[in-house]
Structure 1
């Protein structure tokens, strides 16, 4: 599905578009829900005729009792099939939307608290809409009219009463839905605020403990929780009120039919009517009357699912991708020039000040110095992860921050490479998803990753040793076709034998590329063409 701006489309239109690829499932679920009308009519007819034939004996009533029982069984089977198809529809839509959200989080880097909330709560809110509300909406539009048409065969007057009493029922549903829409959206916003606040406080827990801000943080979370509680209570209050109104109109309508049929059978109506009911027809109409309102009552019960989905829709819409210009960087190893460069985070004291360096094309430069001297910050600067607070950086013919983004043309291996759940081959292929399995296997062998590439790895790196995890980063760097290679402490905490094996892999990875290595290791520094002390 094409990514769109969250503000470019109404939630209802977005929900309709999200379900369009599974139109057949949606149609099947709706038709199964409408098909519930047939056994409902069969049950009412079988029951009415069985009662009228009891005076002739049980044998005369048996076929109609069998029809009623068969109708009940058929209705149960149709209902179960509608539930199964609706669940498949909801699962299919959720899987597709969740995949796009995960692509935003891990592919396009759109990481924020509201996106994380949408991934959990927002996706969950879509299930009720597609699994329950969408099929019931079609049934609510067609089933009452079909049932009224069936009732008209037995009693046109009763059918007219049923049709007339539908209007206040529908008006009540519309008013309840309008009142609940705004409250549902405000409730979901309160949930987003609480989730975002909780995630932020968990991330900054060491700072909270260090500055003795536990009490204030607890109060903030309590206030956000109370706000969510108030919003939820308002939504539930409207839901209960609307259910009460709808039940009142439903009971009133059935009572009118019961009074009409009873007085007609007794011939005590105070006004003339063009029909005289007998027991089978009166009982048939009376049995169908509750069924006329049943699809609408089910839709009203599922209406909150629609409001929840529409409230969550803006948060799960995939934003339109912002095209970032790529710097004019070719495939050949470029020169890199730092001119009077300074790097400062959030206006604080610069970690790097007035730094100058010329790196020749294809040269390997080792950046050494004490911890905190700014080695990693220089690498992050090229990746766009650190701010260029002063000076300029030239990469080939491009200027960093002026001529576009160069991060896509850089192969990067950090101290702790990111690991995603899946097999080892998939983790290596993150550097170049278009790579064929042969290239992935070659990169793994060159990096020294032996064994089965299909072995499972969890999100914490379970299944990989410390050395294998570093080799995973180097395998990605080998796989990516990039003219620049950046390595951050590639051999830290390794024993001498493992370090020498890793240095051989680094030499292969750096071949034909302009390479910057942040390191404390003299052995790695010896690999470099030039060593720069920070």
Structure 2
């Protein structure tokens, strides 16, 4: 059954869709953030009337002072409640996304360094978006208008000034967000590259030590670290610059209100206005002016959370198991169809171009040709190690353009089988961790590996001859219960006697499977039902 194609999903759409099951919690957090307007207005009113009442008597100012104090306490409680709800929202969404990633990572066998980075760093980036940015976005659209409406009751002219100065503030936020969005994406990509590089080098540490590549590896990791540092510094510079711009417009707006109220109280305005302010109304408007921009400033401070989440979202998007069907080639030997296949690595000419081939179920096909003709690249294509630049490959109904690779259903033996420190049995069992000792011993005997399976082997293959190392790769291929067998130069550099002994092993390993063999050997090619020359 072929995989169902998945429509591209933008980061913003995915974030919105992910938060939809918790819409009520998101709405509650937004309402609590908007509710902060009521105590803000109450504090401004209490402060203004307290100051104006002091001119009459201290006793007259006491009720209004109590209103101001009560408003401050209520504001603190509402703010704390909004933080708690936002934290619950962020935790719930992170738990859900992390669960889906873990299911995709282990349940379906898709494992990569990029996914490990997404699981740790990407999921963490969602917290700020849902716990802070999402509620503040709702409040930033409503709260300033409510505060301006309250200010209009005391001074319509001051409300008009606040409304007019609101536009450059919003434009400044938009420009700063646009400039920072791209840098945030590049910064997260640099983090992914560094994490992936580090994980890959840890996995290949024995090979690095064996080939004395410690210095080069250190330089590569240092370069990736420096790139991440540069990207992070750029994001921080843009954040500080945007904060400075927004603070400038906020201070300028409050200063305009202060100048207007002061000149109006002193009756020194150089132009006529339709209102005459008294002390209480002027103080009320002055106390409210900073509150108009407070929700927008908080949103601007949390805007980096949105950028971080949108930068991380592409690596977190996984197919919904209820909406998609994973490609499966079953347990029987599959047919393979190559249609106008092209393989081109980045920055190089195509190694394969316009390749067509039909392989019947259970057939053995030998790919022969000169070195560099693309034999290994065709085999790597099935394993997801080479890019499908053009065309299509269909294996038992699974299309590589949709499922990426079928490595889980391929028994593979390379030119240089990887060896890990441990026993010979443990090295064979790498092909199937669930195999019992009897199956491992049978695979070893079939591949011609006799003797003590518990003998120790170091990371450089010490304890194995060249022929035994080739047989180790074939033993793994025999052990793995997969309907497709792929062999890359299985008898290269072997003497004629060892090659003849290996032919029987290859014949047994290919029994009941569709087999592709890349080889230079005429003897191996003679085993095949069909020989394809590249």
1:382 equivalenced with 2:386 (yes/no) = no
Match of 1:193 in 2: 193
1:158 equivalenced with 2:162 (yes/no) = no
Match of 1:24 in 2: 24
Using the TM superposition, give the Cα deviation of residue 59 of structure 1 relative to its aligned residue in structure 2, in angstroms: 1.3
Q: Give me the whole-angstrom Cα distance separating, in 2, the residues matched to 1:387 and 1:270.
A: 89
Q: Give me the whole-angstrom Cα distance separating, in 2, the residues matched to 1:119 and 1:5.
A: 24
Using the TM superposition, give the Cα deviation of residue 340 of structure 1 relative to its aligned residue in structure 2, in angstroms: 8.1
Q: Give me the whole-angstrom Cα distance separating, in 1, the residues matched to 2:282 and 2:37.
A: 19
Using the TM superposition, give the Cα deviation of residue 54 of structure 1 relative to its aligned residue in structure 2, in angstroms: 0.8
Using the TM superposition, give the Cα deviation of residue 67 of structure 1 relative to its aligned residue in structure 2, in angstroms: 0.4
Q: Give me the whole-angstrom Cα distance separating, in 2, the residues matched to 1:76 and 1:233.
A: 34
Q: Give me the whole-angstrom Cα distance separating, in 2, the residues matched to 1:220 and 1:7.
A: 36
Residues 129 and 306 in structure 2, CA contact (< 8 A), matched pair in contact too: yes
1:144 equivalenced with 2:144 (yes/no) = yes
Q: What SS does the aligned partner of 1:124 have?
A: helix
User: Residues 276 and 105 of structure 1: is their aligned pair in 2 closer, same or farther, counting only changes over 3 Å?
Assistant: same
Using the TM superposition, give the Cα deviation of residue 394 of structure 1 relative to its aligned residue in structure 2, in angstroms: 5.7
Match of 1:84 in 2: 84
1:345 equivalenced with 2:345 (yes/no) = no
Q: What SS does the aligned partner of 1:387 have?
A: strand
Once the two structures are superposed, the pairs formed by residues 6-25 of structure 1 within 5 Å of their partners are: 8-25=8-25
Q: Give me the whole-angstrom Cα distance separating, in 2, the residues matched to 1:16 and 1:55.
A: 54
| TM superposition score normalised by structure 1 | 0.66
Using the TM superposition, give the Cα deviation of residue 347 of structure 1 relative to its aligned residue in structure 2, in angstroms: 3.6
Residues 377 and 386 in structure 1, CA contact (< 8 A), matched pair in contact too: no
Structure 1: unaligned runs, 5 residues or longer? 330-336, 352-363, 403-534
1:479-514 per-position Cα deviation (integer Å, ceiling 9, x unaligned): xxxxxxxxxxxxxxxxxxxxxxxxxxxxxxxxxxxx
Once the two structures are superposed, the pairs formed by residues 490-505 of structure 1 within 5 Å of their partners are: none
1:323 equivalenced with 2:422 (yes/no) = no
Q: Give me the whole-angstrom Cα distance separating, in 2, the residues matched to 1:70 and 1:309.
A: 37
Q: What SS does the aligned partner of 2:65 have?
A: helix
1:189-217 per-position Cα deviation (integer Å, ceiling 9, x unaligned): 00000000111111111222222211111
Q: Give me the whole-angstrom Cα distance separating, in 2, the residues matched to 1:315 and 1:74.
A: 41
1:440-464 per-position Cα deviation (integer Å, ceiling 9, x unaligned): xxxxxxxxxxxxxxxxxxxxxxxxx
Using the TM superposition, give the Cα deviation of residue 326 of structure 1 relative to its aligned residue in structure 2, in angstroms: 2.4
User: Residues 385 and 339 of structure 1: is their aligned pair in 2 closer, same or farther, counting only changes over 3 Å?
Assistant: closer
Residues 152 and 159 in structure 1, CA contact (< 8 A), matched pair in contact too: yes
| TM superposition score normalised by structure 2 | 0.66
Using the TM superposition, give the Cα deviation of residue 325 of structure 1 relative to its aligned residue in structure 2, in angstroms: 3.4
Match of 1:168 in 2: 168
Using the TM superposition, give the Cα deviation of residue 379 of structure 1 relative to its aligned residue in structure 2, in angstroms: 4.2
Match of 1:285 in 2: 285
Q: Give me the whole-angstrom Cα distance separating, in 2, the residues matched to 1:345 and 1:83.
A: 56
Q: Give me the whole-angstrom Cα distance separating, in 2, the residues matched to 1:349 and 1:232.
A: 40
Structure 2: unaligned runs, 5 residues or longer? 334-360, 367-410, 420-437, 454-467, 489-505, 517-534
Match of 1:517 in 2: none
User: Residues 7 and 207 of structure 1: is their aligned pair in 2 closer, same or farther, counting only changes over 3 Å?
Assistant: farther
User: Residues 239 and 165 of structure 1: is their aligned pair in 2 closer, same or farther, counting only changes over 3 Å?
Assistant: same
Q: Give me the whole-angstrom Cα distance separating, in 2, the residues matched to 1:131 and 1:232.
A: 23
Match of 2:205 in 1: 205
1:223 equivalenced with 2:291 (yes/no) = no
Q: What is the number of residues matched between the two proteins?
A: 378
Q: Give me the whole-angstrom Cα distance separating, in 1, the residues matched to 2:85 and 2:195.
A: 32
Q: What SS does the aligned partner of 2:318 have?
A: coil
Give structure 1 regions of 4+ aligned residues with deviation exceeding 2 angstroms.
3-7, 319-323, 325-329, 337-351, 368-376, 378-381, 383-395, 399-402
Match of 2:271 in 1: 271
Using the TM superposition, give the Cα deviation of residue 323 of structure 1 relative to its aligned residue in structure 2, in angstroms: 2.2
